[in-house]
Amino acid sequence: MLLAFHKPFGVLSQFTPDGSKNRTLAEFGFPKAVYPVGRLDADSEGLLLLSDEPEWNARLLTPGHHVEKTYLVLVEREPGQHALHLLRSGIVLDGKTTLPAKARLLDPQPEFPPREPPVRFRKNVRDFWIEIRLVEGRNRQVRRMTAAVGHPTLRIIRTAIGNLSLANLPAGKWRLLAVEGCRTNFFMHFEFRLFLCSRDIL
């Protein structure tokens, strides 16, 4: 079983509380025995996968597989070409340069439902959405990368893992991916075509 969940802001990527005010996955009615495949910070939103099958962890999280993850990131001020180039070529974090990434300013700028609580607003500072695609997942990597080039992150929405897209799944809802019949294609070609075989649980 493989599930796609649109994790809201303020929700932990775990079923047990950690002593903070953040909510847990236990509130969203998941089937028994599933657990998160990877994680998404409590203050980030978007696609989180859950499964009851260990092979998904191996396929999706093994560093050598370089599965691309796509993030839409709201940052302070418009990043110029130099900042985008730095994001693409690598940023030194904890003494080690990040792997090459993809980064671009979104045009047109997307619109998303307001976040609760709202994103910090500064009257004299415009915010811009950029897209960043990474093949690694260091601790709070996106935030640290944008801060390093002078554009602090205000909001993050993960929209895809490989070719598996969040699509139009509403925040707080999950979708059961019908992996039977798609599994062979995934393991033979290591491509994410599972969304074509999914049904909604909304």
- Interatomic CA distance for residues 166 and 46, integer angstroms: 7
pLDDT tens-digit map of 18-47: 999 999 999 999 999 999 999 999 999 999
| Digit-coded pLDDT (tens) for 123-137 | 888 999 999 999 998
Specify the amino acid at residue 201.
I
Q: Which residue has the tokens 């979708």?
A: 175
Instruction: Show which residues are catalytic.
Output: 41
Q: Could you give the domains of the chain?
A: 2-63+162-201 (3.30.70.580), 73-160 (3.30.70.1560)
The answer to whether the pTM exceeds 0.85 is yes
Q: What is the separation of C-alpha 148 from the centre of its chain, rounded to a whole number of angstroms?
A: 20
The answer to whether 167 touches 99, Cβ cutoff 8 Å, is no
